[in-house]
Structure 1
Amino acid sequence: MKFLLKNIFRIIPVLFIITVIVFVLVRVTGDPVSLMLPETATDEEQEQLRESLGLNEPLYKQYLIYLGDLIKGDFGDSFRYNQPAFDIVMERLPASFSLAFASMIVATLISIPLGILSAIKRNSILDLLITSASVLGKAMPSFWLGIMLILLLAVHLNLFPVSGTGSTKHLVLPAITLGTGIAAEMTRLIRSSMLEILSQDYIRTARSKGLFEVIVINKHAFRNALIPVVTIMALQTATLIGGTLITETVFSWPGMGQLLVQAVDLRDMAVVQAATFVIAILVIASNLLADLTYRYLDPRIKYE
């Protein structure tokens, strides 16, 4: 509980720094008024809009107003959608969550058995094949894999929809596309972590006691090998929620990544600030969850 409370208090300055960085970067990209008004707008009309948005104030006053609204949960209204920016972000969040969750399931189902097999059969042909496949999976561009999956499984075999949302079938192809790259990275990490654990003295002791190899691997080795894997999973989950633009574009998936890039392109400041803030909260929460998971996996880890 002390660890949890300490980290919750640490979140406040982190979020403050994030708000400063995002606020400054959004303002230096250009004047959003030029996008919100037609080219025929007069200077007077531009000035009136700038005044209504508070953009004629000094930067520090704009930031104080923004911070005050942020504390109240008000990120402003999107000029493109003409509705509160936070509501728009929260509408896209379930789609991103479902895609990230499905991708992590795919990655876990692929990487855990392959990583363990590769470590157990070290320097064998099977190990070479798994290692080569993981390198290929990591190097393979996600947009190319997505297009190939669409051509094979959606167009030729007609097993899944080409794009869009609405059912579980729509989720399969983008989840495989994203999960493959993550699985490649996790497989190599599990292999190296398992090799290190299998060389430990307590593993040799467990084997000398006559325990079945399955028990030695699953109960004694794999649990301790999971600690670095949990870190990768936490970081990848946060990345999946906020930065899967290419896959979302290929499959027309209405997630956070696509929303954020469109908002940046249009200088929709309210949406950019709201989306970045939500993604920052998710990254911090996933890291905190990973730290708590360490303690469960290895009770010897102490937080002092």
Structure 2
Amino acid sequence: MMGKYLVRRLLQIIPVLFIISFIVFCLVFVAGDPVALMLPEDASQEDIDQLRTSLGLDRPFHIQYFTYMQGLLQGDFGDSFRYNASALPLVLERLPATLELAIAAMFVAIVIAIPLGIWSATKQNSSLDLLATGGAVLGKAMPNFWLGIMLILLFSVTLGWLPVSGRGTFAHLVLPAITLGTGIAAEMTRLIRSSMLEILNQDYIRTAKSKGIHDFFVVNKHALRNSLIPVVTITALQTSTVVGGTLITETIFSWPGLGQLLIQAVNTRDMAIVQASVFVIAFMVILMNLLADLIYKVLDPRIKYN
């Protein structure tokens, strides 16, 4: 049953990616003429028309889209005029750096959110609960770019403990991961708290307590596992937030990842890079949602795949 479900979900990815590719192509088509950026300001109209013709930009929309899809089916998104190289390898080259930052940010979020959410739920209406919920609201409200700049000013400029930018050592990863993970931790903390409060009021939890089982085991063995299903859901949904957050975070910290490449491509209208980047990001988000569905079965064997 699970195998059939997995095959069906993988087949559903195809039309989703097709729709995404069409939307991205339409947005790129109306974004403007990249030829104006590829030639100097004193270029003649003849040079402009010649370059536009060589790139196929003078053809009708449906012809351009058909050509684009032909290349897409072969894994070819075209060449980047800025790097004078195929777009997809350039994107895949930057992908490991983005994945490294995203995984580190999710680790930071989980390390902060799970203990804080549990403590907040078990100490409901206490000063610790108010502090945790208040911190979660504050963390959710703080923009990533502002938090990143403040961390740079404190730990890099003032204290000199951590590097300002770049990638290479663990020290370079700390500030970007904290910047990106804080907002995710805030969202997860609130969800874990509400989920734990609901679970702790269930009859089987009261029965476990009445048997004299220590609160630590009741919370961490019985309540926590059952409260993790909505957490897995929000974690999967946060994938798009993490990837979107890397666009800003990588720019602030000069992190050489996919986000920084995409921002530069948008500014220079390097459409091949834009299309390849968005396609890869969309594929990552879809796979994370599929992975979340599979984790449900591990957390709760009662879930059936129909």
TM-score (norm 1): 0.96
1:84-132 deviation line (CA, Å, top 9, x unaligned): 1111111211111111111111111111000000000001111111111
1:158-185 deviation line (CA, Å, top 9, x unaligned): 2211111111110001111111111111
1:241-276 deviation line (CA, Å, top 9, x unaligned): 344222222211122222212212221110011001
RMSD: 1.3
Question: 180, 196, 202: which is aligned to 1:200?
Answer: 202
Question: 288, 291, 294: which is aligned to 1:292?
Answer: 294
In structure 2, the partner of 1:24 is 26
CA contact (8 A) 1:134 1:183 kept: yes
| Cα distance in 1 between the residues matched to 2:31 and 2:149 | 33
Tell me how far 1:189 sits from its aligned partner. 0.7
In structure 2, the partner of 1:276 is 278
Map residues 1-20 of structure 1 onto 2, 5 A cutoff: 1-20=3-22
CA contact (8 A) 1:96 1:242 kept: no
Tell me how far 1:43 sits from its aligned partner. 2.0
Tell me how far 1:12 sits from its aligned partner. 0.6
Percent of aligned positions with the same letter in both sequences? 68
- Give 5+ residue unaligned stretches, structure 2: none
Give the SS at the match of 2:274: helix
In structure 2, the partner of 1:252 is 254
| Cα distance in 2 between the residues matched to 1:96 and 1:214 | 37
1:59-106 deviation line (CA, Å, top 9, x unaligned): 111111111111111111100111111111112111111111111111
CA contact (8 A) 2:254 2:260 kept: no
Range moving further from structure 2, 32-41 or 101-110 = 32-41
In structure 2, the partner of 1:213 is 215
CA contact (8 A) 1:242 1:256 kept: no
In structure 2, the partner of 1:134 is 136
CA contact (8 A) 1:78 1:271 kept: yes
Question: 225, 236, 239: which is aligned to 2:238?
Answer: 236
1:214-252 deviation line (CA, Å, top 9, x unaligned): 221111111111111112212223432344222222211
Give the SS at the match of 2:164: coil
1:26-64 deviation line (CA, Å, top 9, x unaligned): 001111111111122222222221121111221111111
Question: 160, 163, 168: which is aligned to 1:161?
Answer: 163
Range moving further from structure 2, 85-94 or 4-13 = 85-94
| Cα distance in 1 between the residues matched to 2:148 and 2:266 | 25
CA contact (8 A) 2:113 2:189 kept: yes
Give the SS at the match of 1:227: helix
| Cα distance in 2 between the residues matched to 1:243 and 1:64 | 32
Letter in 1 for 2:48: Q
In structure 2, the partner of 1:264 is 266
| Cα distance in 2 between the residues matched to 1:16 and 1:46 | 32
Question: 136, 144, 147: which is aligned to 1:145?
Answer: 147
Range moving further from structure 2, 245-254 or 86-95 = 245-254
Paired positions, count: 304
CA contact (8 A) 2:109 2:181 kept: yes
Give the SS at the match of 1:292: helix
| Cα distance in 2 between the residues matched to 1:22 and 1:149 | 35
| Cα distance in 1 between the residues matched to 2:16 and 2:257 | 25
CA contact (8 A) 1:198 1:221 kept: yes
| Cα distance in 1 between the residues matched to 2:216 and 2:240 | 33
Range moving further from structure 2, 243-252 or 214-223 = 243-252
Give the SS at the match of 1:244: helix
In structure 1, the partner of 2:45 is 43
| Cα distance in 1 between the residues matched to 2:135 and 2:256 | 30
| Cα distance in 2 between the residues matched to 1:46 and 1:298 | 61
